[in-house]
Amino acid sequence: MSGTLQDLPPIVVLLIATTLEVTGDAIVRIALYRHPGITAIRVALFALGAALLFGYGSFVNLTALEFRHVVGLYIATLFVVWQVINFAFFRTAPTLPILVGGTLIVVGGLVVAFWRV
């Protein structure tokens, strides 16, 4: 075992990448809407959000994943992680329409990821 990112199972890579992406987005949103003006905390939040988003992009692109094969699983994972982070940061539970639509997203993502013709 060489211990590189390419050795990680794709679902692990996707969970880490989507967690970095969604957390970075949430922190940028907090900077935009909860800390008006040019303040040290706002600048720090923007920097942290940017670093997380950069980490997401770097992490995904350092792996051997080809998005054409895992895009469905990525979107499904992104939706689930987005809901978890949304609740953790903003204490907003998904509504029934979000749960129904999210179920369709996850099922569709699984179809795209695993249906072989």
In angstroms, the CA 32 to CA 103 distance is 30
| Digit-coded pLDDT (tens) for 19-62 | 999 999 999 999 999 999 999 999 999 999 999 999 998 887 77
Asked if residue 53 lies in contact with residue 20, where contact means CB atoms within 8 angstroms, the answer is yes
Query: What predicted TM-score, i.e. pTM, was given to this entire model?
Result: 0.85
DSSP state of 64: S
- Name the average pLDDT for the chain: 90
Q: What's the number of CA atoms in the CB half-sphere (13 Å) around residue 109?
A: 20
Asked if residue 81 lies in contact with residue 73, where contact means CB atoms within 8 angstroms, the answer is no
Mean pLDDT of the region 69-92: 91
In angstroms, the CA 57 to CA 44 distance is 20
Mean pLDDT of the region 100-108: 96
pLDDT value of residue 1: 46
